[in-house]
Amino acid sequence: MVAVEVVEVTDELKNAYDVVVIGGGAAGLSGALMLTRARRSVVVIDAGAPRNAPASGVHGLLAREGIGPAELVERGRAEVRGYGGQVVSGEVSTVAREEAGFQVALTDGRSVHARRLLLATGLVDELPDVPGLRSRWGRDVVHCPYCHGWEIRDQAIGVLGSGPLSVHQALLFRQWSDDVTFFSHTLPSPAGEEAEQLAARGIRVVDGEVASLEIVDDRLVGVRLTDGSVVKREALAVASRMVARTGLLSALGLRAVEHPSGAGEHVPSDATGRTEVPGVWAAGNVTDLAAQVGGAAAAGAAAAAQINADLIAEETRQAVAARARGAVPFSAEMESRVCEAVLGNRRHGL
């Protein structure tokens, strides 16, 4: 006879948690899994707007190559819940500092207290204003050669000049196809070393602004310029401006800043994910703009280990102080219940 554990799935929030994870993608769920396995009380609050939703599959992820983004999230949620964690649908509106941690308020009026925060809200891709581009995003309009290069290998690939990394992007996609065209669009035509590099790799340069994409039978067939000419292409690479989702933490003084690469804005953090705001860690694309799913998941797990270590250090200090006062030590379970009760009382002004 096989024993089956029944896990109750509920959106009902408790008063307090050791850790509130904001964002339920690869980074957030991986961090939550690590923390629940460390016997921490954890809730993941997920607004349900993953960056990779338009993609047909996740690539470069060992043992899960090609898995659908939605399926990966559902598997991750089930694993977190299997260890006693919660995954709650909702959007965080504000986060405020409290004496014993943070108060996290949701847009639907609910609120919860956290001793620590893991920020895994990801980023938003800001795309050039070209008709037809957004609707093809994640299909035949792509950004990352390591995510999509194999799928468009040997096709006629265009690269839209849209930012400081566009020429580099064209050189990368040349690895997957001999037929790559760089559209300067609103950028100056490549000159000097960049022009020499493109020519040496056989990458054609087309000057002039792009007016729209040509779509036939639900597939990209070309790029139309403002002069009316059409250059046949089967895929188009675009370097989006990537902006971290951080507005909800502005009250804590945590804001996105320009990334050194010029590719967008991110939340600075150290190698462990620790931000400049005490008690707040960040993982995934919110701090690392270039992280793929595997890297984001690894960063979430690493940040979670550091959060657990930080909580252990705090609890040890408290235990030492209690022992010095002659207090009787108590179990981790009792400590968690006391912590929740104290935070709950503070919430109600008691």
Q: Distance between CA atoms of 56 and 69, rounded to whole angstroms?
A: 7
pLDDT tens digits, 140-186: 999 999 999 999 999 999 999 998 899 999 999 999 999 999 999 99
Residue 178 burial (10 A CB sphere; 0-12, 13-18, 19+): exposed
- Are 244 and 123 in contact by the 8 Å Cβ rule? The answer is yes
Supply 47's token pair: 């607004």
pLDDT tens digits, 73-110: 999 999 999 999 999 999 999 999 998 899 999 999 99
Supply 225's token pair: 């310029």
State pTM to two decimals. Answer: 0.87
Res 287: pLDDT: 96
Mean pLDDT of 99-124: 95
Q: What are phi and psi of 36, to 5 degrees?
A: -65, -35
- Are 85 and 39 in contact by the 8 Å Cβ rule? The answer is no
- Are 284 and 299 in contact by the 8 Å Cβ rule? The answer is yes
